[in-house]
Amino acid sequence: MIALRKTASPQEEPPERLQKVLAQMGLASRREAEAWIRAGRLTVNGNKATLGVRVRSSDQVRLDGRVVRRQAAPEMHVFLCHRSPGESLGRPDEHADSAALATRLPSRAGRRFIAVSPMPRIDGGLEILTSDGELAVKLQRAAHFLPSEFSVRVRGPLTDVQRASILSGELDRGATLEVESCEPAGGAGANRWYSLACRGGSGKDVRQLFERQAALVSRVLRTRFGPLTLDRALARGQFRELTHEQRDALLAASADSRSSAR
C-alpha cells in the first residue's frame, strides 16, 4: 500500500484529472499516468479508470490494486545542479544508474525527480530537477520562452560569416531560435569558447546552431536558465536547493515569459 495520508478539509476541493493528481503527488508524470490508465492499472471507486476521469479527495484510487491515499500537497522542492558532461541525471527515461545525479538528492524531497529541459548527456552545466510533477510540467512549457545562456567550446575561432549565421538562429527542423548574442569568451590553444545568449533554446538546439556552420563542437555548458545562473562556487556534480525567493522568481519568470509569447 502506498502509505499517504488523506487530510480532511471543511469544503471538498473540485475534482481534478487523475493524471494531474498523480503528477502532483510525485508518483508519475502526466504521460506516465495516462499510460497506466490505458494499461488498466488504475481504478477509481472499484471501476477501471478512463482517460479524462476526474477524482475528488473522497474517491478511492488504486494502482495495481494498492490504495493511493491523497495527502496535503507536500512542500515544493527544486534543485539547481551542476552536472558534469557525461554524468547521468537519472531521469525516468534513463537506465538505472547508482551514480546518477538524481540519486544524490535528499530523499526527504521526493522519491522521483524530473529534469526540466535537460542538456544532452554529452554536455552539462546548469540543470533543474524537481520532485513536483505539476511544477515540472509548467517549467517544461516555459523553457521554450525563458532566456538562457550557454558556453560553447569549438576548435578554432569562428569566422564573421559563421557567427552571423549562428545569430540568425536557423535550425534543421525549419524553426528559428531567437539568438541575442554570440561573443568570444576566451580559450587556449586550438580551443575557443563562445558565450551564446538566446531565448527558449535547448542544449541540443545550441549545439546544432554551431555544427550547421561546420564548427567542431566539443562541449556545450548551460550557465543560465531564466533568472537562475550557475554559481562558480558550485562544483561539478554538486547541487543546492532553491530558496523560496529563487523558486518564486523562477515561477514568476516562467509565467511572464509564456504570457509575453501569446
**CATH code where residue 119 lies:** 3.30.70.580
Q: Is there a domain that residue 8 lies in? A: no
Annotate 168-181 with b (16+ C-beta within 10 A) or e (fewer): ebbeeeeeebebee
- Whether residue 138 is found in the same domain as residue 242: yes
- Whether residue 155 is found in the same domain as residue 135: no
- Rounded to an integer, what distance in angstroms lies between the CA atom of residue 117 and that of residue 180? 20
pLDDT-based confidence at residue 192 (cuts at 50, 70, 90): very high
- Whether residue 257 is found in the same domain as residue 138: yes
CATH number at residue 171: 3.30.2350.10
Q: Looking at the whole model, is its pTM more than 0.85?
A: no
Average pLDDT, rounded, for the chain: 86
- Whether residue 158 is found in the same domain as residue 213: yes
- Whether residue 121 is found in the same domain as residue 247: yes
Please write the tens of the pLDDT for every residue from 58-80: 889 999 999 987 665 557 789 99
pLDDT exceeds 90 at position 9: no
Q: Is there a domain that residue 51 lies in? A: yes
Span 150-172, mean pLDDT? 95
- Whether residue 59 is found in the same domain as residue 45: yes
Please write the tens of the pLDDT for every residue from 41-56: 999 999 999 998 999 8
DSSP string, 17-52: EHHHHHHHTTS--HHHHHHHHHTT-EEETTEE--TT
13 by Cβ neighbours in 10 Å (0-12 / 13-18 / 19+) ranks as exposed
- Whether residue 123 is found in the same domain as residue 250: yes
In the chain, the percentage of residues whose pLDDT exceeds 70 is 87
Q: Is 149 helix (H, G, I), strand (E, B) or coil?
A: strand
CATH number at residue 41: 3.10.290.10
- Whether residue 151 is found in the same domain as residue 131: no
Q: Is there a domain that residue 198 lies in? A: yes
- Whether residue 135 is found in the same domain as residue 245: yes
Considering only CA atoms, give the Rg of the chain: 21
Q: Structural domain of residue 173, as residue ranges?
A: 147-225
* Number of domains composing the chain: 3
Q: Is there a domain that residue 9 lies in? A: no
- Nearest CA-CA partner of 199 in 172, 213, 175, 178: 178
pLDDT-based confidence at residue 2 (cuts at 50, 70, 90): very low
- Whether residue 162 is found in the same domain as residue 57: no
pLDDT exceeds 60 at position 7: no
- Whether residue 137 is found in the same domain as residue 240: yes
| Per-residue cell: 180 | 541575442
